[in-house]
Amino acid sequence: MALRPDLDAVAAMVPRGSRVLDLGCGDGALLDHLIREKDCDGTGVEISDEGFHACVARGVPVMVGDIDRGLADVEDGAFDVVILSQTLQATQRPALVLHEMMRVGRVGIVSFPNFGHWRLRWSLAARGRMPESSSLPYHWYDTPNIHLCTIRDFETLLAREHLTTIRRVLVDDRGRPAHGVALRRPNLLCAGAVYLVGPDRA
């Protein structure tokens, strides 16, 4: 089964044979792909019963956990890559989650929807209501997303946490790589982003 376009961008950043931890792994589709197609040693962390059982049904190694409480049971540097795909905005403590993922992994991959996208700005300004889109397909009262951010916000958080961007893939509203003028004004014109990040050695 083909991955969502945004998950393709995440998977492309994972080196073959890596030890991978996927935080908020959902139904395990990404991990299943990495294990089968890239020979990765993968483990997921998922809080929902539905996601946990979906992972088990796929044969994907998974443990129940609340990443907002940290990763106390995971040793420093235990993984090559830690993934946080479309999950950061649903956490209660994004900075802690980012810190913990970088403690247990050599590099991290983070993807998220960009709340600075022009369609969301226009919707809020014109309609006076919380916007909905293909990347944020929820009503304000039932959304799992509690800490929405823009691309600029995320990069500010990286700097505060002394992390650096190794690679960035900007995506359109279909989750596919953005191109053209969108690359020059990503905070306004891109629907989301995928970041490969590591410690700032400077």
Averaged over successive runs of 10 residues, the pLDDT of the chain (202 residues) comes to 84 98 96 97 96 96 95 95 94 95 97 91 83 72 79 96 96 92 95 95 68
pTM: 0.91
Alpha carbons 167 and 196: distance in angstroms, whole number = 5
Interacting residues of 77 by C-beta distance below 8 A, sequence separation 6+: 103, 104, 105, 106
**What burial letters (b/e) apply to 115-139, b meaning 16+ CB within 10 Å?**
bbbebbeebeeeeeeebeeebbeee
**Domain range 5-199, CATH class:** alpha beta
List the domain boundaries for the chain: 5-199
